[in-house]
């Protein structure tokens, strides 16, 4: 609250004046008073003792006296150990609430220096459908982008589509061999699922061929290289890089299927992008830059023709940037992509939302760009997040233990529909409207479940818990938000401007305090790239409101002034909750 600042400044002034210190208000620690003590705000006294040269109690008493004298909003105080608990006047709460209500741009911060930031997320391969890991990636990247927007930055959402390489050729070759010309229409499969099916099919045949070769006495490594089907895939990659018409046509057709599939998955996820990058476009630039780097002496060529970057001085290993046969690797493409992005946009930085398994890769990438002389490397940041694991262990494509994104979302929505059927609150709604609400609720459950965890940490995905609707869950928060709307609708008139009351309960104070925290929470979430901070805030606020609702009359309140005050409070809780949920990519329906 503005009052926290006022208080901090006042305390700093007092300490400077009385004890001859030289503190700024930022060095004064102010926190919310714990529920078990009397008071609203607490000044931590310990750090001030070296100036006051008195014990904590005396110092607290001393400062407290002055605060009551000089600040109108401070009604009284008490000192416990080294903590000065300040009790605020009742008028303060109403005016704080009104300040929030009348602030049209509440929750949208203004930055003195606006940054243009590119956020990359999703970054799929075009040889298989999206899975649970991508879901976390997408929700996280989307939400971080929204949070940064709210904190006052300009954001460009982007992805890099991994549409070329040996793995893509594997599914192409496999389709050629085994699909008999099957299309998404003829097989009745989403395009990305169809392509994924033949990618798996490739692996099956590959394994059989390897086993045969190993029976003949070959080592595993040899067999991997010598299996005919693998050699064919490699040949296809080479043809693709040479621009072979037939191969390119096949590539375009199958990627087209995949993009159609992705599009509907992204739509269901509720994510979007401002600009797409394709590795098939950027890898060539990467190759060119590697040539330049060779001239500059940043890279060196080995006898066999492969190109490397020596990072041993920086404490890392040597890194391959171009294969012996001159084809590009992952690193090559990423160098090209980064440069391209800075050419395309006037940006101050790029945030790469990529799993923590690639931390080493990005460390190396940023270092190489630095060595190449691109000063923009300073603005690059790897938003690294933990892997999603199942109770049964890791997800593995080949063992079929992957949780498919489309399947999972469908399940969540189904569970939501079962839950609403029981509650029966949707009478009078059309089938389409009900479907839309089920979608919203199901996705809210999934998004919240994945976003409430600190990005850095791994997630253990428990299917049963994820679809829970009680407790610390998305639907619980959503329900409270929807309830505020329905209350306000019932009351009709919604002009609560300037309502004050001298009768404010502890719960109400707590809620107003939390509402007032919202902008700090955004700032903090932006600073840490952490939707989890927003998610936890939403739950705290919703829980507080839920307890308030259970213990206070609102529409039934007889005192008109109090009733309006509580409606004002309700209105702001709904407003802030909805704003916060949107930052998580969660929509709020009118009813549920």
Q: Applying CB under 7 A, which residues contact RNA?
A: 29, 31-34, 36-37, 39, 42, 44, 46-47, 80-83, 85, 125, 162, 165-167, 279, 302, 304, 306, 315, 317, 320, 323-325, 329-330, 356-361, 387, 394, 452-454, 456-460, 462, 465, 468, 470-473, 520, 524, 528, 532-533, 536, 539, 543, 550
Minimum CB distance to RNA smaller for 80 or for 487: 80
Q: How far is the CB of 530 from RNA (least distance, A)?
A: 7
CB of 194 to RNA, least distance (A): 20
Least distance CB 143 / RNA (angstroms): 14
> What phi and psi, each to the nearest 5 degrees, are found at residue 268?
-65, -35
How far apart CA 347 and CA 114 sit, in angstroms, is: 11
Q: How far is the CB of 44 from RNA (least distance, A)?
A: 5
Q: How far is CA 396 from CA 29, 364, 388, 407, in A?
A: 49, 27, 12, 16
Nearer to RNA, 306 or 561 (CB): 306
Give which of 163, 187, 131 is closest to 237, Cα–Cα: 163
114: three-class secondary structure by DSSP: coil
HSE, side-chain direction, 13 A CA sphere, residue 8: 15
Per the CB < 8 A criterion, the answer to whether 577 and 484 are in contact is yes
Bridge partner list, 77: 86
Rounded least distance, CB 558 to RNA, Å: 24
- Tokens 């308030």 correspond to 548
Least spacing, CB of residue 54 vs RNA, in Å: 14
CB of 391 to RNA, least distance (A): 9
Which is nearer to RNA, 254 or 564 (by Cβ)? 254
Task: State the distance between the two ends of the chain, measured CA to CA, in whole angstroms.
Answer: 33
For the bound state, the minimum distance from the C-beta of residue 462 to RNA, rounded and expressed in Å, comes to 6
In the complex with RNA, the residue whose CB is nearer, 61 or 358, is 358
Q: Toward RNA, which CB reaches closer, 246 or 359?
A: 359
User: d(Cα 385, Cα 355) in Å, to the nearest integer?
Assistant: 5
Cβ neighbours of residue 93 under 8 Å, at least 6 residues apart?
504, 508, 509, 512
Q: What are phi and psi of 510, to 5 degrees?
A: -60, -40
CB of 70 to RNA, least distance (A): 21
Residue 132 vs 499, nearer CB to RNA: 132
Find, among 348, 321, 340, 370, the residue nearest to 278 by Cα: 340
Smallest distance, RNA to C-beta of residue 13, A: 20
Kindly state the smallest distance separating residue 121's Cβ from RNA, in Å: 15
Q: Quick check: 498 and 97 in contact, CB under 8 A?
A: no
Ramachandran sector of residue 227 (left: φ over 0; alpha: ψ -120 to 50; beta: rest): beta
* Residue carrying the six token digits 């929470």: 521
Which residue in this structure is represented by tokens 């609250």?
1
Rounded-to-integer distance, Cα 164 and Cα 255, Å? 10
Q: Which is nearer to RNA, 46 or 502 (CB)?
A: 46
Would you say 89 or 356 has its CB closer to RNA?
Answer: 356
- Least separation in angstroms between CB 551 and RNA: 8
For RNA, the closer of residues 157 and 514 by Cβ is 514
Q: Provide, rounded to whole angstroms, the least separation between the CB of residue 450 and RNA.
A: 10
Compute the distance between CA of residue 526 and CA of residue 435 in angstroms, rounded to an integer. Answer: 34
By C-beta, is 49 or 268 nearer to RNA?
A: 49
Under 8 Å between Cβ of 107 and 482: no
Concatenated DSSP letters for 523-589? HHHHHHT-HHHHHHHHHHHHHHHHHHHHHS-STT-SSHHHHHHHHHHHHHHHHHHHHHHHHTT----
φ/ψ (deg, to 5) at 400:
70, 20
Comparison of 423 and 490: residue with beta carbon closer to RNA: 423
* Smallest gap from residue 186 Cβ to RNA (A): 29
CA distances from 205 to 202, 214, 308, 400 (A): 5, 14, 34, 16
Residues 568 and 555: their CA atoms lie apart, in Å, by 12
Q: Please, are residues 286 and 341 in contact by the beta-carbon 8 Å criterion?
A: no
Q: How far apart are CA 256 and CA 163, in angstroms?
A: 11
- Choose among 39, 257, 245, 274: nearest CA to 163: 257
Distance between CA 433 and CA 410 in Å, rounded?
17
Q: Which is nearer to RNA, 148 or 564 (CB)?
A: 148
Query: Closest CB to RNA among 81 and 490?
Result: 81
The nearer residue to RNA, 17 or 34, going by C-beta atoms, is 34
Q: Which is nearer to RNA, 44 or 284 (CB)?
A: 44
Query: Rounded to the nearest whole angstrom, what is the least distance from the CB of residue 274 to RNA in the complex?
Result: 22
């Amino acid at each position: 609250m503005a009052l926290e600042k006022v208080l901090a400044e006042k305390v700093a002034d007092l300490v400077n004046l009385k004890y001859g210190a030289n503190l700024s208000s930022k060095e004064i620690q102010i926190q919310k008073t714990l529920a078990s003590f009397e008071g609203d705000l607490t000044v931590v006294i310990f750090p001030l003792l070296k100036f006051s040269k008195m014990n904590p109690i005396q110092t607290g008493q001393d400062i407290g006296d002055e605060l009551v004298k000089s600040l109108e909003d401070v009604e009284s105080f008490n000192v416990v150990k080294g903590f000065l608990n300040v009790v605020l006047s009742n008028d303060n709460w109403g005016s704080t609430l009104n300040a929030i209500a009348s602030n049209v741009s509440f929750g949208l911060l203004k930055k003195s220096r606006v940054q243009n930031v590119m956020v990359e997320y999703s970054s799929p391969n075009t040889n298989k459908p999206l899975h649970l890991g991508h879901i976390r990636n997408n929700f996280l990247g989307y939400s971080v982008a929204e949070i940064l927007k709210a904190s006052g930055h300009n954001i460009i959402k982007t992805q890099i589509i991994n549409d070329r390489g040996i793995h893509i050729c594997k599914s192409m070759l496999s389709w050629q061999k085994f699909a008999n010309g099957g299309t998404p229409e003829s097989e009745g499969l989403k395009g990305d699922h169809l392509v994924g099916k033949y990618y798996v099919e490739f692996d099956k045949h590959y394994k059989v061929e390897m086993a045969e070769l190993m029976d003949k006495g070959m080592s595993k490594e040899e067999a991997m290289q010598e299996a005919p089907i693998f050699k064919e895939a490699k040949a296809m990659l080479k043809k693709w890089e040479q621009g072979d018409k037939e191969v390119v046509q096949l590539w375009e057709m199958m990627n087209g299927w995949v993009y159609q599939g992705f599009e509907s998955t992204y739509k269901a996820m509720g994510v979007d992008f401002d600009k797409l990058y394709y590795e098939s476009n950027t890898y060539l630039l990467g190759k060119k830059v590697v040539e330049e780097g060779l001239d500059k002496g940043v890279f060196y060529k080995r006898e066999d023709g492969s190109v490397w970057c020596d990072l041993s001085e920086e404490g890392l290993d040597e890194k391959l940037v171009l294969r012996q046969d001159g084809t590009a690797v992952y690193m090559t493409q990423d160098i090209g992509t980064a440069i391209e992005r800075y050419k395309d946009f006037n940006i101050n930085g790029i945030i790469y939302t990529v799993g923590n398994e690639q931390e080493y890769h990005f460390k190396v990438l940023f270092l190489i760009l630095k060595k190449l002389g691109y000063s923009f490397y300073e603005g690059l940041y790897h938003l690294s997040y933990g892997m999603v694991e199942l109770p049964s262990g890791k997800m593995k494509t080949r063992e079929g233990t992957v949780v498919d994104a489309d399947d999972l979302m469908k399940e969540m929505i189904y569970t939501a529909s079962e839950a609403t059927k029981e509650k029966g609150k949707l009478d009078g709604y059309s089938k389409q409207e009900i479907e839309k609400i089920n979608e919203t609720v199901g996705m809210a459950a999934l998004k919240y479940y994945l976003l409430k965890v600190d990005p850095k940490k791994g997630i253990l995905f428990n299917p049963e818990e994820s679809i829970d609707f009680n407790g610390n869950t998305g639907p619980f928060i959503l329900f409270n938000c929807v309830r505020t709307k329905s209350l306000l609708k019932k009351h009709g008139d919604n002009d609560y401007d300037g309502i004050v009351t001298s009768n404010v309960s502890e719960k109400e104070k707590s809620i107003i305090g939390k509402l007032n925290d919202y902008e700090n929470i955004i700032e903090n979430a932006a600073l840490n790239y952490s939707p989890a901070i927003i998610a936890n805030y939403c739950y705290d606020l919703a829980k507080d409101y839920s307890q308030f609702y259970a213990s206070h009359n609102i529409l039934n309140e007889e005192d008109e002034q109090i009733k309006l005050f509580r409606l004002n409070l309700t209105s702001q809780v709904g407003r802030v909750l909805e704003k916060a949920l949107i930052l998580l990519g969660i929509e709020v329906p009118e009813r549920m």
